[in-house]
């Protein structure tokens, strides 16, 4: 086995794994299709294994390819992190910082914080990844993460930001049509917006909200952004952040005694503590998120 294998071969292999074809990988990577084919063939020869078999739907990965994928992805994340670190060298705050957060945080909360950050540091570039999948900071999938669970890895710096308050909300038009539930039990008579897949968060609500289960939802989606849009559209009653709901004049909080919280953490790899781009971003996110959380408990 040739141990001195160039990264470009793994890059093409990963492109085919993600696209399912040589042509798709070539388009994604910005190279010619024959180049991708040569890279995959060279990697197979160097490793002494077959990575793909042809089928009617494209290239199918072998068991060996599936086993290698996670390592190739880790190499890709490390290569991207290397580029970000290289770009940041020099005077002042510059380069690229990659931030990951949940859908709602990434789309509804972080943009104004990032806008202010870039006003203060015009040479700083930001990659924002809104996803409910936990990005692995140890594998350098991102530089900084906003998480709704406490990080446990020893190599991560973590700051507890506070508790985001959640509540039941509905659009005024919906309440005009269906009435305002007078009790938790009355929720069973309403159109509820909830998740399609069972989640730990959903299970945690069973004690305080018996109606909050999959079979009781009139509209189901596993996207927090979809929930938010459905609530604002008047599709029913759903759970959302209190601070965000206060920005929408047509939204009304129902059953305010039902108060839920999500503990929020800001975290990054300890190796980045002395990186100017990551340090100023971490501080700006911490300050902005604390202000957002304070808005949850402010008087309406």
Cα–Cα distance for residue pair 147/150, rounded to 1 Å: 7
274-291 in b/e form (b: 16+ CB < 10 A) is ebbbbebbbebbeebbee
Beta strands in the chain (DSSP E): 52-55, 58-61, 95-101, 124-130, 144-147, 156-171, 192-194, 217-220, 238-241, 251-254, 260-269
Q: Taking 70 as the threshold, does the pLDDT of residue 299 lie above it?
A: no
* DSSP single-letter state for residue 170: E
User: Taking the complete model, does pTM exceed 0.85, yes or no?
Assistant: no
CA distance 152 to 130: 21
Going from the C-alpha of 246 to that of each of 113, 166, 233, 291, the distances in angstroms are 18, 12, 16, 14
- What are the tens digits of pLDDT across the range 3-61? 677 888 888 988 888 888 888 888 888 889 899 989 988 888 888 889 988 877 678 88
Phi, then psi, of 181 in degrees rounded to 5: -65, 130
pLDDT tens digits along 134-182: 777 777 788 899 988 888 777 888 999 999 999 999 999 999 999 999 9
State the Cα–Cα distance between residues 272 and 235, nearest whole angstrom: 44
Inter-CA distances, 202 with 166, 197, 205, 238, 261, Å: 13, 9, 5, 12, 13
Rounded Cα distance between 124 and 275, Å, is: 12
Walk me through the domains of the chain, giving residue ranges and CATH numbers: 7-85 (1.10.10.10), 95-300 (3.40.190.290)
Q: What is the dihedral of CA 58, 61, 66, 69, to 10 degrees?
A: -60
Q: Which residue has the higher pLDDT, 208 or 195?
A: 195
Mean pLDDT of all residues in 274-298:
86
Output Rg (C-alpha) for the chain, integer angstroms.
23
- Give the pLDDT of residue 300: 47
Q: At residue 198, what are phi and psi to the nearest 5 degrees?
A: -65, 135
């Amino acid at each position: 086995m040739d141990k001195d294998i160039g990264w470009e071969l793994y890059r093409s292999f990963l492109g085919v794994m993600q696209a399912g074809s040589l042509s798709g990988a070539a388009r994604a990577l910005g190279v010619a299709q024959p180049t991708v084919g040569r890279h995959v063939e060279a990697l197979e020869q160097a490793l002494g294994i077959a990575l793909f078999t042809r089928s009617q739907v494209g290239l199918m990965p072998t068991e060996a390819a599936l086993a290698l994928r996670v390592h190739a992805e880790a190499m890709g994340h490390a290569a991207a992190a290397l580029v970000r670190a290289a770009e940041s060298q020099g005077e002042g705050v510059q380069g690229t910082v990659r931030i990951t957060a949940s859908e709602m945080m990434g789309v509804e909360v972080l943009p104004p914080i990032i806008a202010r950050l870039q006003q203060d540091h015009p040479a700083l570039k930001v990659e924002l990844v809104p996803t409910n999948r936990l990005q692995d900071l140890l594998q350098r999938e991102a530089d900084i993460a906003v998480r709704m669970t406490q990080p446990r890895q020893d190599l991560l710096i973590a700051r507890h930001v506070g508790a985001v308050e959640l509540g039941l909300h509905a659009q005024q038009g919906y309440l005009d049509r269906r009435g305002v539930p007078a009790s938790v039990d009355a929720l069973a008579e309403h159109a509820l917006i909830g998740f399609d897949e069972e989640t730990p968060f959903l299970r945690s609500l069973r004690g305080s909200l018996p109606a909050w289960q999959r079979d009781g939802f009139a509209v189901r989606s596993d996207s927090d952004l979809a929930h938010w849009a459905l609530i604002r559209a008047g599709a029913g009653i759903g759970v959302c952040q209190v601070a965000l709901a206060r920005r929408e004049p047509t939204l009304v909080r129902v059953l305010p005694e039902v108060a839920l919280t999500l503990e929020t953490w800001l975290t990054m790899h300890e190796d980045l503590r002395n990186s100017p781009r990551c340090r100023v971003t971490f501080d700006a996110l911490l300050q902005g998120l604390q202000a957002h959380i304070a808005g949850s408990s402010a008087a309406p």
